[in-house]
Amino acid sequence: MQIYQAHIIDTPSPTRFRILENGYVGVDDTGHIVGLWHQLPDDLMSKTQDKSSGVTLTCFGDKMLIPAFCDLHVHAPQYRNLGLALDEELLEWLNKYTFPEEARFADIGYAERIYRRFVHELWMQGTLHSSVFATIHPHSTTLLARLFRQAGMGAYVGLVGMDRNSPDNLRNTTEDIINYYQSLTIDSNDEVRPIITPRFIPSCTPQMLTLLGQIAQQYNLPVQSHLSENRSEIEWVKQLEPDTVCYADAYRKYGLLGTTPTLMAHCCYSEEKEMGMLRDNKVTIVHCPTSNSNLASGIAPVRTFLDNGIPVALGTDVSAGHYMSMLRVIQYAIQVSKLHYAHSDGKISYLSMSEAFYLATKSGGSFFGKTGSFDIGNTFDALLIDDSYLNYDHYSLPHRLQRYVYIGDDRDIRIRFYHNQPLTKPNINND
Amino acid sequence: MQIYQAHIIDTPSPTRFRILENGYVGVDDTGHIVGLWHQLPDDLMSKTQDKSSGVTLTCFGDKMLIPAFCDLHVHAPQYRNLGLALDEELLEWLNKYTFPEEARFADIGYAERIYRRFVHELWMQGTLHSSVFATIHPHSTTLLARLFRQAGMGAYVGLVGMDRNSPDNLRNTTEDIINYYQSLTIDSNDEVRPIITPRFIPSCTPQMLTLLGQIAQQYNLPVQSHLSENRSEIEWVKQLEPDTVCYADAYRKYGLLGTTPTLMAHCCYSEEKEMGMLRDNKVTIVHCPTSNSNLASGIAPVRTFLDNGIPVALGTDVSAGHYMSMLRVIQYAIQVSKLHYAHSDGKISYLSMSEAFYLATKSGGSFFGKTGSFDIGNTFDALLIDDSYLNYDHYSLPHRLQRYVYIGDDRDIRIRFYHNQPLTKPNINND
- For B148, B201, B234, B235, B257, the CA distances from B238, given in Å and listed in that order, are 37, 10, 6, 5, 17
A94 and A13 share a domain? no
pLDDT for residue A253 is more than 80: yes
Tell me the per-residue pLDDT of A71-102, one tens digit each, with 9 for 90 and over.
Answer: 999 999 999 999 998 877 777 888 899 999 99
Tell me the per-residue pLDDT of B290-321, one tens digit each, with 9 for 90 and over.
Answer: 999 888 888 999 999 999 999 999 999 999 99
On whether any CB of chain A is under 8 Å from the CB of B293, the answer is: yes
B333 and B390 share a domain? no
Nearest one of A99, A123, A261 to A193, comparing CA atoms: A261
Q: What is the mean pLDDT of chain B?
A: 96
Q: In this structure, is residue A326 part of a structural domain?
A: yes
The last residue of one of the domains, among B346, B365, B384, is: B365
Give the separation between CA B129 and CA B360, rounded to whole angstroms: 10
Tell me the per-residue pLDDT of A302-353, one tens digit each, with 9 for 90 and over.
Answer: 999 999 999 999 999 999 999 999 999 999 999 999 988 988 888 999 999 9
Low-confidence winner among A9-23, A290-304, B366-380, B408-422 (lowest mean pLDDT):
A290-304
pLDDT for residue B276 is more than 80: yes
User: Dihedral (C-alpha) B365, B370, B375, B376: value to the nearest 10 degrees?
Assistant: -160
CB atoms within 10 A of CB B239: 8
Confidence of residue B30 (pLDDT cuts 50, 70, 90): very high
Q: How far away is chain A from the Cα of B398, in angstroms, using its nearest Cα?
A: 9
Yes or no, beta carbons of B393 and A338 under 8 Å apart? no
A62 and A76 share a domain? no
Provide the total of helices (H) and of strands (E) in chain B, helices listed first.
16, 17
On whether any CB of chain B is under 8 Å from the CB of A320, the answer is: no
Give the separation between CA A291 and CA A323, rounded to whole angstroms: 9
pLDDT for residue B430 is more than 80: no
A260 and A403 share a domain? no
Q: What is the pLDDT of residue B91?
A: 74
Q: In this structure, is residue A176 part of a structural domain?
A: yes
CATH number of the domain residue B343 falls in: 3.20.20.140
Tell me the per-residue pLDDT of B217-245, one tens digit each, with 9 for 90 and over.
Answer: 999 999 999 999 999 999 999 999 999 99
B84 and B148 share a domain? yes
Return left, alpha or beta for A425; rule: phi > 0 is left, psi -120 to 50 is alpha, else beta.
beta
CATH number of the domain residue A38 falls in: 2.30.40.10
Yes or no, beta carbons of A407 and B323 under 8 Å apart? yes
- As a whole number, mean pLDDT of residues B367-394 equals 97
ipTM beyond cut 0.90: yes
Query: With contacts defined as CB-CB under 8 Å, which chain B residues touch A407?
Result: 82-83, 322-323
On whether any CB of chain B is under 8 Å from the CB of A353, the answer is: yes
Q: In this structure, is residue A89 part of a structural domain?
A: yes
For residue A35, what are the domain limits?
2-67+371-422
On whether any CB of chain B is under 8 Å from the CB of A352, the answer is: yes
CB atoms within 10 A of CB B169: 12
For chain A positions 207-266, those within 8 Å of chain B (CB to CB) are none
B380 and B248 share a domain? no
Yes or no, beta carbons of A341 and B296 under 8 Å apart? yes
- As a whole number, mean pLDDT of residues A258-281 equals 97
Tell me the per-residue pLDDT of A118-176, one tens digit each, with 9 for 90 and over.
Answer: 999 999 999 999 999 999 999 999 999 999 999 999 999 999 999 999 999 999 999 99
Q: How far away is chain B from the Cα of A278, in angstroms, using its nearest Cα?
A: 25
Q: Do residues A357 and A334 make contact, with C-beta atoms less than 8 angstroms apart? A: no
DSSP string, A391-421: -TT---HHHHHHHHHHH--GGGEEEEEETTE
Q: In this structure, is residue A430 part of a structural domain?
A: no
Count Cβ–Cβ pairs < 8 Å, chain A vs chain B. Answer: 103
Residue of B nearest to A408 (CA): B83
B43 and B77 share a domain? no
Tell me the per-residue pLDDT of B313-358, one tens digit each, with 9 for 90 and over.
Answer: 999 999 999 999 999 999 999 999 998 898 888 899 999 999 999 9
Of the candidates B84, B331, B336, the beta carbon closest to that of A402 is on B84
Query: With contacts defined as CB-CB under 8 Å, which chain B residues touch A352?
Result: 87
The arrangement of strands across the sheet holding A284-287 comes to A223-227, A262-266, A284-287, A312-314
Yes or no, beta carbons of A82 and B403 under 8 Å apart? yes
A125 and A16 share a domain? no
Q: pLDDT > 70: what percent of chain A? A: 100
Yes or no, beta carbons of A392 and B117 under 8 Å apart? yes
pLDDT for residue B176 is more than 90: yes
Q: In this structure, is residue A127 part of a structural domain?
A: yes
B99 and B202 share a domain? yes
Confidence of residue A286 (pLDDT cuts 50, 70, 90): very high
A227 and A302 share a domain? yes
Q: In this structure, is residue B429 part of a structural domain?
A: no
On whether any CB of chain B is under 8 Å from the CB of A342, the answer is: yes
On whether any CB of chain B is under 8 Å from the CB of A110, the answer is: no
How many structural domains are present in chain A?
2
Confidence of residue B13 (pLDDT cuts 50, 70, 90): very high
Q: What is the mean pLDDT of chain A?
A: 96
Give the separation between CA A244 and CA A237, rounded to whole angstroms: 9
Query: With contacts defined as CB-CB under 8 Å, which chain B residues touch A338?
Result: 293-296
Q: In this structure, is residue B431 part of a structural domain?
A: no
Query: With contacts defined as CB-CB under 8 Å, which chain A residues touch B353?
Result: 86-87
A40 and A179 share a domain? no
Q: In this structure, is residue B427 part of a structural domain?
A: no
On whether any CB of chain A is under 8 Å from the CB of B385, the answer is: no
- As a whole number, mean pLDDT of residues B397-411 equals 96
Give the separation between CA B105 and CA B96, rounded to whole angstroms: 16
Query: With contacts defined as CB-CB under 8 Å, which chain A residues touch B289?
Result: none
Q: What is the pLDDT of residue A188?
A: 85
- As a whole number, mean pLDDT of residues A405-425 equals 97
- For B10, B147, B387, the CA distances from B416, given in Å and listed in that order, are 15, 17, 15
DSSP string, B149-210: HHHT-EEEEEPEE--SSS-GGG---HHHHHHHHHH----TT-SEEE-BEE--GGGS-HHHHH
Nearest one of B82, B69, B17 to B327, comparing CA atoms: B69
- As a whole number, mean pLDDT of residues A288-314 equals 94
Tell me the per-residue pLDDT of B99-111, one tens digit each, with 9 for 90 and over.
Answer: 999 999 999 999 9
Of the candidates A339, A350, A405, the beta carbon closest to that of B339 is on A339
Q: What is the pLDDT of residue B306?
A: 97
Q: Which site among A407, A412, A429 would you substitute to test the B interface, given the most B Cβ atoms closer than 10 Å to its Cβ?
A: A407
Q: What is the pLDDT of residue A431?
A: 66
Q: A99-117 burial, b if ≥16 CB within 10 A, otherwise e? A: eebbbbbeeeebbbbbbbb
B358 and B391 share a domain? no
Confidence of residue B431 (pLDDT cuts 50, 70, 90): low
Task: Identify the helix (H) or strand (E) that includes residue A205.
Answer: none
